[in-house]
C-alpha cells in the first residue's frame, strides 16, 4: 500500500513539474499592465531639469504637486507573457491582464506602436500648451501639417511630412478637425484636391480616395495641428509616450503663468487627454494610474468623466477622485478644494 502511495506521489510530482514547465514556456497573447512612475509637472525631470520650462514670460512658483501618471506593461508581440505570469497577474489586484491587441493593434509592430506613442506624446504637449494659453486668453495661431504619409496609400509619393495643408477642395482649413470633416464627406474612389504649402510655395494635388481597413475613405496622411506660441514652452518627460498627460501639462502651464497656487501645496495627481479647446478625454489603465498616484503620495486624483465609473470601483483608500470634464472645470475644482468654497465634481 505504501509503495502505491509513493508511486502516486511521484507521478503527481512529475505532472506538476511538467505543467510548471509547460506554463513557463507557453506564450499567451496578453499584456500585463502595472502601475508606472509618476512625475511632478511643477518640478524637475530625471535629469534635474525643469520638467516644464517657460522662457519669455513671467512665471510663478508652486510648492505643490501636479503629477501625471503612467502605466508600464510587460509582454507584447516580441516578448509574450508565459501562461503562469498571466495567471499570477489575474490574481494580483494591482495588475491588469488585457488582450495583446489592446496595446498592439493587429498589423502593427512594436516599433510602430512605440513610434505612434511618441507622436501622441509630442502632439499632446502641443495641444496642452494651446489649451492652457487659450484658457488664459493668450492669442495663438494654428496651422495643419502633414505628420506622416502611409506607404501604399494614394498620398504616397505625392505629399510629404512637413507639408502644410492649406485647403481641401478649395476650402481653407486651420484645424485638423476641419480637414478631416471635409475629407470624410467623400466616398471611396472619389477625387479630392488638397492645397499644400511646401518650401514657401503653394501647390494643388489631386488624389483618389481609397478604403481604410474599416471602409472609410482615406488618402493616407496623418495630420497634426501645429501652433505658433508667443513665447517658448519646453516639456521634457524622457522616455514616456501616449497622450494621457495632456490635462496635467495644461494645468501646470496655467499654474506657472498665473500668480498664486492651483495646488494649495497639496499633492494632486491625475490623467486625461486634452484638446486645444480644453476638453478632457478618457485614457486607459485608470486603476494602475490611481495606484501609482496614491503610492507616490497623492491625495487628490483628477479623473476624466468617462473613466469615473471604473475609477470609483477601484479607488485606493485615501485618494479623493475629482471628475475633470474640461481644463476650466479642473481649475475651478482645484480652487474650490483650496478655498473650501464651491462644489467639487466627484466620481460618485
Q: Would you say residue 325 has pLDDT above 60?
A: yes
Mean pLDDT check: name the lowest of 5-9, 135-139, 231-235, 253-257. 5-9
The average pLDDT across 314-331 equals 96
Number of domains in the chain: 2
Residue 313 is a catalytic residue: no
Residue 6 forms part of a structural domain: no
Average pLDDT, the chain: 87
Residue 13 is a catalytic residue: no
The pLDDT, as a whole number, for residue 30 is 86
Q: Would you say residue 15 has pLDDT above 60?
A: no
Task: Collapse the DSSP code of 184 into the 3-class scheme (helix H, G, I; strand E, B; otherwise coil) and give the result.
Answer: helix
Q: Is 326 left (phi over 0), alpha (psi -120 to 50) or beta?
A: beta
57's grid cell: 514670460
Residue 159 forms part of a structural domain: yes
206's grid cell: 489631386
Q: Are residues 326 and 224 in the same domain?
A: no
Dmax (CA) of the chain: 94
Q: Are residues 218 and 254 in the same domain?
A: no
Q: Are residues 121 and 266 in the same domain?
A: yes
For the CA atoms of 274, 279, 280, 284, what is the dihedral angle to 10 degrees? -70
How crowded is the C-beta side of 276, counted as CA atoms within 13 Å? 20
User: Percent of the chain, pLDDT > 90?
Assistant: 61
Give 78's DSSP letter.
T
Strand ranges (E), the chain:
27-28, 30-40, 52-55, 65-75, 81-82, 96-99, 141-149, 164-168, 171-172, 191-198, 201-208, 210-211, 217-218, 221-228, 232-235, 267-270, 273-274, 280-281, 300-304, 320-324
The average pLDDT across 283-293 equals 94
The average pLDDT across 28-56 equals 91
Q: Are residues 298 and 217 in the same domain?
A: no
Q: Would you say residue 10 has pLDDT above 70?
A: no
The average pLDDT across 185-205 equals 93
The pLDDT, as a whole number, for residue 3 is 57
Range from 9-13, 65-69, 116-120, 211-215 that averages highest in pLDDT? 65-69
The pLDDT, as a whole number, for residue 108 is 67
Q: Are residues 315 and 329 in the same domain?
A: yes
Q: Would you say residue 100 has pLDDT above 80?
A: no
The pLDDT, as a whole number, for residue 61 is 92
Q: Would you say residue 215 has pLDDT above 90?
A: no
The average pLDDT across 179-197 equals 91
Mean pLDDT check: name the lowest of 49-53, 104-108, 153-157, 195-199. 104-108
Q: Are residues 316 and 168 in the same domain?
A: no
Given the residues 250, 256, 261, 289, the one annotated as active site? 289
Do 257 and 132 touch, CB atoms closer than 8 A? yes
Report d(CA 294, CA 304) in Å as an integer. Answer: 17
Residue 112 forms part of a structural domain: yes
Q: Would you say residue 243 has pLDDT above 80?
A: yes
User: Percent of the chain, pLDDT > 70?
Assistant: 89
pLDDT band at 17 (very low <50, low <70, confident <90, very high): very low
pLDDT band at 1 (very low <50, low <70, confident <90, very high): very low
The average pLDDT across 302-306 equals 97
Q: Which of 228, 244, 267 is the last residue of a domain?
A: 228
Q: Are residues 217 and 69 in the same domain?
A: no
Q: Which of 228, 259, 281 is the last residue of a domain?
A: 228
Q: Is 286 left (phi over 0), alpha (psi -120 to 50) or beta?
A: alpha
The pLDDT, as a whole number, for residue 93 is 74
Q: Which of 228, 255, 280 is the last residue of a domain?
A: 228
The average pLDDT across 232-245 equals 91
Closest CA to 268 of 298, 294, 307: 298
Range of the domain at 68: 30-73+108-137+231-339
Please report, for the domain that includes residue 205, its CATH number: 2.30.42.10
Residue 13 forms part of a structural domain: no
Question: Is the pLDDT higher at 263 or at 14?
Answer: 263
Q: Are residues 129 and 235 in the same domain?
A: yes
pLDDT band at 118 (very low <50, low <70, confident <90, very high): confident
Q: Are residues 158 and 190 in the same domain?
A: yes
The pLDDT, as a whole number, for residue 274 is 96
The average pLDDT across 278-289 equals 94
Q: Are residues 187 and 239 in the same domain?
A: no
Q: Are residues 171 and 252 in the same domain?
A: no
Residue 23 forms part of a structural domain: no
Q: Are residues 49 and 128 in the same domain?
A: yes
Please report, for the domain that includes residue 251, its CATH number: 3.30.230
The pLDDT, as a whole number, for residue 4 is 52
Do 73 and 31 touch, CB atoms closer than 8 A? yes
The pLDDT, as a whole number, for residue 5 is 52
Do 243 and 125 touch, CB atoms closer than 8 A? no
Given the residues 244, 250, 261, 266, the one annotated as active site? 244
* Cα radius of gyration (the chain): 25
Amino acid at each position: 500500500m505504501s509503495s502505491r502511495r509513493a508511486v502516486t506521489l511521484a507521478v503527481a510530482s512529475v505532472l506538476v513539474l511538467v505543467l510548471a514547465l509547460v506554463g513557463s514556456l507557453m506564450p499567451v497573447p496578453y499584456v500585463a499592465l502595472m502601475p508606472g512612475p509618476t512625475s511632478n509637472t511643477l518640478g524637475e525631470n530625471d535629469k534635474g531639469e525643469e520638467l516644464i520650462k517657460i522662457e519669455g514670460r513671467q512665471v510663478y512658483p508652486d510648492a505643490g504637486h501636479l503629477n501625471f501618471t503612467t502605466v508600464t506593461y510587460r509582454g507584447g508581440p516580441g516578448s509574450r507573457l508565459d501562461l503562469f505570469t498571466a495567471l499570477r497577474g489575474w490574481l494580483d489586484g494591482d495588475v491588469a491582464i488585457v488582450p495583446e491587441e489592446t496595446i498592439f493593434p493587429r498589423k502593427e509592430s512594436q516599433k510602430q506602436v512605440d513610434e505612434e506613442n511618441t507622436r501622441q506624446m509630442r502632439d499632446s504637449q502641443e495641444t496642452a500648451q494651446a489649451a492652457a494659453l487659450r484658457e488664459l486668453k493668450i492669442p495663438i495661431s494654428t496651422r495643419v501639417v502633414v505628420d506622416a504619409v502611409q506607404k501604399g496609400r494614394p498620398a504616397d509619393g505625392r505629399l510629404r511630412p512637413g507639408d502644410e495643408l492649406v485647403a481641401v477642395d478649395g476650402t481653407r482649413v486651420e484645424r485638423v478637425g476641419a480637414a478631416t470633416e471635409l475629407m470624410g464627406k467623400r466616398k471611396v474612389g472619389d477625387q479630392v484636391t488638397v492645397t499644400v504649402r511646401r518650401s514657401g510655395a503653394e501647390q494643388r494635388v489631386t488624389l483618389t480616395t481609397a478604403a481604410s481597413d474599416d471602409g472609410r475613405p482615406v488618402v493616407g496622411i496623418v495630420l497634426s495641428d501645429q501652433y505658433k506660441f508667443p513665447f517658448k514652452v519646453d516639456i521634457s518627460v524622457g522616455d514616456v509616450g501616449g497622450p494621457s498627460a495632456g490635462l496635467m501639462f495644461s494645468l501646470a502651464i496655467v499654474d506657472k503663468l498665473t500668480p498664486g497656487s492651483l495646488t494649495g501645496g497639496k499633492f494632486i495627481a491625475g490623467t486625461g487627454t486634452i484638446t486645444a479647446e480644453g476638453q478632457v478625454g478618457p485614457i486607459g489603465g485608470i486603476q494602475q494610474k490611481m495606484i501609482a498616484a496614491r503610492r507616490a503620495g497623492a491625495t487628490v486624483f483628477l479623473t476624466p468623466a468617462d473613466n469615473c465609473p471604473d475609477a470609483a470601483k477601484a479607488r485606493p483608500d485615501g485618494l479623493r477622485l475629482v471628475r475633470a470634464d474640461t481644463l476650466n472645470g479642473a481649475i475651478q475644482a482645484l480652487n474650490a478644494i483650496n478655498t473650501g468654497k464651491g462644489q467639487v465634481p466627484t466620481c460618485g
